[in-house]
Amino acid sequence: MLSAHQLQVSCADLFGAVSGGHAGKAPGLGVDLVHVPRIARALDTFGERFLRRLFTAVEARDAGSEPMLRVERLAARFAAKEAAIKAFGLAEVGVSWRDLEVERLPGGVPVLRVHGRAAEVLRSRGIAHWALSLSHDGDHAVAVVAIVQPAVSAPSAP
């Protein structure tokens, strides 16, 4: 199994190949892997302060109340925020963690909502559509964010 560092290096190599060697620029795809026990330790150490700094009330609610599942879900949401920062090229912009919000729709589908400074930057860059995928199992949570173009419907026949 690849370590988180090896996965980051592999992804960076892939982005460099796909973008013609411009791995430093936002490729429109962000991936992040989080070690769930790290989030559990932060919650144990900092409690509500940690929750309020990184997560919105919606995210805290959607994470549920069963302790282990809650930590896994929060780790996946943290991974989503990191993946979004990579996909959207926000690392140098200075956005709040809470500007990036993962909400679970009825049926469990996660969506990424963007607020505040992050929303301003995306508007200025013409980024309006993206996809999010989350997964968590045991000690790991992963998220992928990809900028997508809206589907163009075929012209109707006369």
Can you give the CATH number for the domain in which 111 is found? 3.90.470.20
Q: Does 32 appear as a known binding residue?
A: yes
Q: What's the confidence (pLDDT) of residue 150?
A: 72
What are the tens digits of pLDDT across the range 23-64? 444 469 999 999 999 999 999 999 999 999 999 999 999 999
> If you average pLDDT over residues 77-85, what whole number do you get?
98
Task: Give domain status of residue 137, yes or no.
Answer: yes
Task: Give domain status of residue 155, yes or no.
Answer: no
Task: Give domain status of residue 157, yes or no.
Answer: no
Task: Give domain status of residue 18, yes or no.
Answer: no
Q: Are 80 and 132 in contact (CB under 8 A)?
A: yes
84 alpha-carbon distance from chain centroid = 4
Task: Give domain status of residue 14, yes or no.
Answer: no
pTM of the model: 0.79
Task: Give domain status of residue 11, yes or no.
Answer: no
Give the pair of three-digit tokens for residue 152. Answer: 């163009």
Give the residue, 11 or 118, on which the prediction is more confident: 118
Task: Give domain status of residue 105, yes or no.
Answer: yes
**What residues contact residue 72 under an 8 Å CB cut-off, 6+ apart?**
36, 136, 137, 141
Q: Does 99 appear as a known binding residue?
A: no
Which residue range(s) make up the domain with 140?
A: 27-147
Task: Give domain status of residue 22, yes or no.
Answer: no
Does the pLDDT at position 12 exceed 90?
A: no
> Reduced to 3 states, what is the DSSP secondary structure of residue 2?
coil
Total domain count for the chain?
1
